[in-house]
Amino acid sequence: MKSVKNIQKITKAMKMVAASKLRAVQTKAENSRGLWQPFTALLGDLPSVDVKKNVVVTISSDKGLCGGINSTSVKISKGIYKLNSGPEKETKYVILGEKAKAQLVRDSKKDIELIITELQKNPLSYTQVSVLADEILKNVEYDALRIVFNKFHSVVSFVPTVSTVLSPEIVERESESGGKLGELDSYEVEGGETKGEILQNLAEFQFSCVMFNAVLENACSEQGARMSAMDSSSRNAGDMLDRLTLTYNRTRQASITTELIEIISGASALEG
């Protein structure tokens, strides 16, 4: 009973810590949504585009005790890998977080291009994430980056999400062929830069903005899921404590009753 009480105290404390961290990061996540939306309007988010080189960026947490958000991200990443596999296609993983690393290393080690951990060791900022995005772009060759993360809705609700960032060459190809990106040619280019250079800069900035939002959304989802998990654990510990207390009281009462019967029986035997 004492150990269950101690566990309950720990889970309640962890819930309070998660709530505090959630409040700190939620405002950042909501503000970051305005960064990537203009890029989506201009360059689109085309998950169905057919390309040869895909990179799946799986965002997870470094710590556990947060429900199934990491397993969900890994499952979706594996699904994207299968969808984009083929004889003339190449798909690689970029992993953010210890939990996705532990799951993907077991059966997809040869397909992992880059692993980054301890992302949330310091408070998340755009500068930190943009450096991270630049490191990813330097180490991988891609036609499309598929970013897998959990989009935060509420403490008890998060939605697994995939954002697609295309390379400048694919964006130019899609714009020339018409379709959703056909309107790019209607914009005038000012200055001395070529269309390819502008698309290169836009693609890099789009990736860093999408990554910043994705990391924050996933951090919110992690803390929300941890709050729910610790709340459930605290309730379960309380229920277990009630059952153990009831069992203890019944056993104690039975023992006292037995002792009383023995005393009375002994006294009766002496009188007889």
Backbone angles phi, psi at 73, to 5 degrees: -60, -40
Q: Is residue 270 part of a domain?
A: no
Q: Is residue 161 part of a domain?
A: yes
Give the HSE-up count for residue 151: Cα atoms under 13 Å, Cβ half-sphere. Answer: 11
Sheet arrangement for strand 157-166 = 112-116, 90-96, 53-59, 144-154, 157-166
Number of domains in the chain: 1
Q: Is residue 156 part of a domain?
A: yes
pTM given for the model: 0.84
Q: Can you give the CATH number for the domain in which 145 is found?
A: 3.40.1380.10
Q: Is residue 70 part of a domain?
A: yes
Which H helix or E strand runs over 93? strand 90-96
The answer to whether residues 238 and 75 touch, using CB atoms and an 8 Å cutoff, is no
Q: Is residue 247 part of a domain?
A: no
pLDDT at 186: 60
pLDDT tens digits, the chain, 272 residues: what are they?
Answer: 888 889 989 999 999 999 998 988 998 898 888 887 777 777 767 777 888 999 999 999 998 888 889 999 999 999 999 998 888 899 999 999 999 999 999 988 899 999 999 888 888 889 999 999 999 999 899 999 999 999 998 888 899 999 999 888 888 777 777 655 555 666 666 666 677 777 788 888 889 999 999 999 999 999 999 999 999 999 999 999 999 999 989 999 999 998 888 888 888 887 75
pLDDT at 162: 94
Range of the domain at 97: 20-228
Give the HSE-up count for residue 182: Cα atoms under 13 Å, Cβ half-sphere. Answer: 4
Q: Is residue 246 part of a domain?
A: no
Q: How many CB atoms lie within 10 A of CB 134?
A: 13
Q: Is residue 220 part of a domain?
A: yes
The answer to whether residues 151 and 161 touch, using CB atoms and an 8 Å cutoff, is yes
Burial class (CB in 10 A: 0-12, 13-18, 19+), 225: buried
Task: Give me the amino acid identity at 43.
Answer: L
Question: Any alpha helices (H) in the chain, and if so which ranges?
Answer: 2-43, 69-83, 98-108, 126-139, 168-176, 195-271
